[in-house]
Amino acid sequence: MQQGGQRRPIRWSEALFEEERERWLLWLPVSFGCGIALFFLLDRQPPWWPGPLSLALAAAGLWLCRPSLTAVYLLLLFAAAGFGSAQLRTTSVAAPLVSERFGPVEVTGRLLALDRRPRDTRLLLSPESISGLVQRDLPQKLRLRLAGKRPVEAQPGDQVVLRAVLLPPPPPVFPGGYDFGRQAYYRGIGGSGFVLGAPQQVQAAETDGWHLFWARLRDNLGLTLRAALPADQAGIAEALLTGQRAGIEPALQEDYRRSGLAHLLAISGLHVGLIATIFFFSLRALLALSPSLALNWPIKKIAALVTAVLLPFYLPMVGASVPTQRACLMTLVVLAAVLLNRRAISMRLVAVAALAVLALTPESLLTASFQLSFAAVTALVAAYEVWQLRRPDWKRGAGLRSRLLLYFLGVLASSMIATLATAPFAAYHFHRLALYGLAANLLAVPLTAFWIMPFCLLSYLLLPLGLEQFALTPLGWGLEALNTTAQGFSALPGATLNLPAMPLWGLVLLGLGLLWLSLWRSRWRLAGLSFLLLGAISPALNHPPNILVSGDQRLLGLTAPDGSLWLSSGRVGRFAADVWLRRHAQAEPSYWPPNGDGHWLRCDSLGCRYQHDGQTVALALAPEALQEDCHGVALLIATSPVPKGCLPGGRVLDRFDFWHDGTHAVWLSNDRVEVLSVGASRGNWPWNPPRRSGQKIYVP
């Protein structure tokens, strides 16, 4: 009896697993992504052989295994393929990097793209020569900042010469935070910097390559929009028509974030789907005007075929971001399903799109855009599959009013599902949630679908004829209404909820819970709720650091006894300060009093003494403070080099540590001091110079 009782759960699990046989394949992209994640979890780039070896072993196991283990070895095979694809991608994009600040230097190169912002201009340049560098050390691309509103006469494709100070790609501003350098590495950007003076055009582009043609077209369209529309409308129009959000005023961008409408500014599945839908139904209606065509030709399939041919041209027009690639691929598969009389929307379609995007750009797995995009579409398709079973009952006998009501209920339900699905990833990356997002989307999405995007499509069609103003004028009316919606909801009290930083394992549990609920169909899908619950409470188990020091040591942050973060200055390191505050779930900054508070922080003209949980930390802001601070503290942080022998048995962080390893975070407890630097958390990868310190240091 005991053995039979023990086997019941096993048999029950096997029966459920067998019941879900048709859903097994949906987990292959998940396994592929796990292999990519494993690659990036390493602390250094592995040698060439682990990827091919693991792939060969998994393939051999799949060939030789028992039929009952086929699914297991297939998952291992895809995990090995994901690891190998990340390894291959990392090797294939390798290019020289700017390793340290140098300049001013003269740079001659080909202008690839222009981001005209309200307060400055960003140039993407392919350097052909840099004074002081030999040809083999030239970065593939440079991203440079031109301060102010100085006009740039050159266009993408032109050869320009300029003077610039070059810098390495920026590191994270928090250990384990978003790595700008890693993303720049995979985009071929080997350095950043700022331009001195205005770039001078040397030679106009004689012939445009494919990418330069679209870059020039985007730039010209952006100039047209700025001339035709007010500044606040032109920035939004440029984001929707070209994918360039640089022209939006920072205050207006913040309004869209606080109102939960920021997703409307990033070209994604909503925009691609609307463009394809509008064009498809418009063309089908136009063909239906001819009785002979409507009766003798499959006009639905003709409209689908023409839409499928023209839609890929929308991709380079808006910059071909990861969400756009995914949405375009899925829309093409939907159109193919129409041509083949197959079901258009399914979870297999999402799986194919995810696998394609990850195979081409494995590094996109780590980005917020990929995670938010696929979280939303996975949850929406899972809900659609459930809704599809009840749809005939809901629509049977429904009149016009009922259909309109069902539409608005569908918009509300879609917004709610997408918001809930993306909330964990938004909380992890941005540390806040828009509380009025559902209500704002209920107004903004129909406005975008029925007014703004149709006139965006009409603008594309009229632009070659020089008649775009007929579409831009009503487009501006819709954009004004959209801006008013964002600003109105942003101004409401409590528009956003600030959330503390979530650990990586919490994000993994939340992602697994979402996948478990979405990919399975039987009752055991509800087990995903337990993963969601554990992930939701993970921020409460994550302890923020007590001390933060920026890499240039100009900005310091200390945690007060009440848990709030106090900053040393409000004039420097504003971006880093914003990230630090959001990780502490703190809306407004607090600053050190000149002499501290007299209890946990005491300061004078030479430095400060910080106390927490029985530990004392000396902050030596001047070399003269070292004579006193080299004794009686658990940790010494100095803005100048510290002589050898200072603070025997304790931990010292001086100017060279910060210069080498960037921002440092410190955790204090009654028995140890824990230190983690940006250099240590990044690991030894091609986008990060070699480091000397360990990942974590414990001092008794």
Burial class (CB in 10 A: 0-12, 13-18, 19+), 670: exposed
Indicate if the pLDDT at residue 694 is higher than 50.
no
**Mean pLDDT confidence for 269-285:** 85
Same-domain status, 644 and 667: yes
230 preceded by cis ω (within 30°)?
Answer: no
Residue bearing the bigger pLDDT, 420 or 362: 362
Same-domain status, 13 and 125: no
Q: What percent of the chain has pLDDT over 70?
A: 91
Look at residue 14 in the predicted model and tell me its pLDDT.
62
8-54 pLDDT, tens digit each: 665 656 666 667 778 888 999 999 999 999 999 998 899 989 889 99
290-339 pLDDT, tens digit each: 888 888 888 888 988 999 898 888 888 887 776 787 778 878 888 888 88
231 inside domain: no
Q: What percent of the chain has pLDDT over 90?
A: 35
pLDDT band at 695 (very low <50, low <70, confident <90, very high): very low
435-485 pLDDT, tens digit each: 898 889 888 988 998 899 999 989 998 988 888 889 999 999 999 999 999
CB 218 within 8 A of CB 244: yes
Same-domain status, 593 and 673: yes
Q: pTM value?
A: 0.88
Q: Which two tokens stand for residue 359?
A: 């195979």
466-476 pLDDT, tens digit each: 888 899 999 99
Burial class (CB in 10 A: 0-12, 13-18, 19+), 145: middle
Look at residue 51 in the predicted model and tell me its pLDDT.
87
Q: Which two tokens stand for residue 181?
A: 């350098």
Same-domain status, 464 and 607: no
Same-domain status, 265 and 318: yes
229 inside domain: no
Question: To which residue do tokens 């193919």 refer?
Answer: 336
Phi, psi angle pair for 215, to nearest 5°: -65, -45
**Mean pLDDT confidence for 682-692:** 74
Same-domain status, 256 and 133: no
**Mean pLDDT confidence for 492-521:** 92
pLDDT band at 698 (very low <50, low <70, confident <90, very high): very low
Indicate if the pLDDT at residue 693 is higher than 60.
no
Identify the weakest region by mean pLDDT among 77-81, 172-176, 395-399. 395-399
- CA 98 – CA 140 distance, rounded (Å): 10
- CA 522 – CA 511 distance, rounded (Å): 19
3-state secondary structure string, 334-355?
A: HHHHHHCCCCCCCHHHHHHHHH
Indicate if the pLDDT at residue 103 is higher than 80.
no
Segments forming the whole domain that contains residue 524: 504-541
Identify the weakest region by mean pLDDT among 99-108, 216-225, 261-270, 566-575. 261-270
Burial class (CB in 10 A: 0-12, 13-18, 19+), 276: buried
CATH number for 184 = 2.40.50
97 inside domain: no
- CA 663 – CA 651 distance, rounded (Å): 16
Indicate if the pLDDT at residue 692 is higher than 50.
no
373-411 pLDDT, tens digit each: 889 889 988 888 877 766 555 555 556 666 667 767 777
Same-domain status, 466 and 589: no
Beta bridge partners of 112: none
CB 2 within 8 A of CB 49: no
Look at residue 15 in the predicted model and tell me its pLDDT.
66
Look at residue 1 in the predicted model and tell me its pLDDT.
44
Same-domain status, 531 and 650: no
**Mean pLDDT confidence for 625-641:** 87
Beta bridge partners of 673: 668, 699
pLDDT band at 352 (very low <50, low <70, confident <90, very high): confident
Same-domain status, 523 and 478: no
Number of domains making up the chain: 5
Indicate if the pLDDT at residue 66 is higher than 70.
yes
Same-domain status, 513 and 653: no
Residues near 30 by beta carbon (within 8 Å), at least 6 away in sequence? 515, 519
Phi, psi angle pair for 69, to nearest 5°: -105, 10
607 inside domain: yes
194-210 pLDDT, tens digit each: 998 888 877 766 655 66
CB 192 within 8 A of CB 143: yes
Smallest CA-to-CA distance from 515 within 531, 502, 503, 504 is with: 531
**Mean pLDDT confidence for 147-167:** 85
CB 85 within 8 A of CB 362: yes
Indicate if the pLDDT at residue 345 is higher than 80.
no
The HSE-up count of residue 697 (CA atoms within 13 Å, CB side) is 17
